[in-house]
Amino acid sequence: MTAIDLNSDLGEWDLPADAGDDVRMFGLVTSANIACGFHAGNAESMLASVRSAADNGVSLGAHPSYRDREGFGRRDQEVDAATLIADILEQVEALTHAADSAGDSADVRIRYLKPHGALYNRIAVDPVQADAVALAARDAGLPLLGLAGTAIHTAADGHGVQFFREAFVDRAYLSDGRLVPRAVAGAVLTDPAAVAVRAIRMVADGAVEAIDGTVIRVELDSLCVHGDTPGAFAMAAAVREHLTAAEVELRAFA
């Protein structure tokens, strides 16, 4: 039976009233990338996320970003390697503290690292920042989740860091395999039915239609539905339902 992971970026809130569909999303995904405070989240959201992951048997991932709360981590930044490594490790430590604080009620630990937003996009094409992120993951003893065949994939291989490949069901692709910038019309997909069909094609055929209509290849161990995309819960539910109907096993990669 084919198996695939379903992940989402969660814990991107500061007050419980702003948590949105987080609790319901934990019931659908197999891995959760938790905001570690630099683009969103705080000690309370991290602790709540750790507990939700434990309660639902969801694999816990750190989701570090540039230090950019005002821009939600979606503004590109020039950061030297030493600073970037230190910032990532600081965020991993914050989530580790939350996991430790959960105590016996949450038998869970961080199992991988997935950069967020502008940092994720930058390390797909920038070997210098990619190298720094791979070194941070190595120092933290964590595998990386990212786009296959990109600079971060190369850097991870170079530093002996296990690398898992991610594809996005709710984001449009360019013909070169990169994600369409969010400022471009059509970059974010919100139709649950279309997203679910897209997910099946990705898993079954390793293919996706790019924004210009060309069909490109995708390599994947995990599918992502962004937690802050409008209608995220409906999309994740549709993806899970379609994958299950197609006899695809949903299983965490780490």
Domain that holds residue 159: 3-250
Distance CA 115, CA 39 (A): 11
User: Phi and psi of 28, rounded to 5°?
Assistant: -110, -35
Question: For the chain, how far is it from start to end, CA to CA, in angstroms?
Answer: 18
Distance CA 49, CA 99 (A): 9
SS3 3: strand
pLDDT at 106: 53
CA atoms within 13 A on the CB side of 110: 31
Q: Residue 175's domain is classified under what CATH number?
A: 3.20.20.370
pLDDT at 107: 67
Alpha-helix residue ranges (DSSP H) falling in 141-231? 151-158, 192-205
Distance CA 121, CA 16 (A): 29
pLDDT at 168: 96
pLDDT at 83: 98
β-strand partners of 34: 10, 62
Number of domains in the chain: 1
pLDDT at 105: 53
pLDDT at 224: 97
Spell out the residues 6+ positions from residue 156 whose beta carbon is closer than 8 angstroms to its own: 134, 137, 144, 146, 162, 163
Which residues of the chain fall short of a pLDDT of 50? none
User: Can you give the pTM of this predicted structure?
Assistant: 0.95
pLDDT at 17: 83
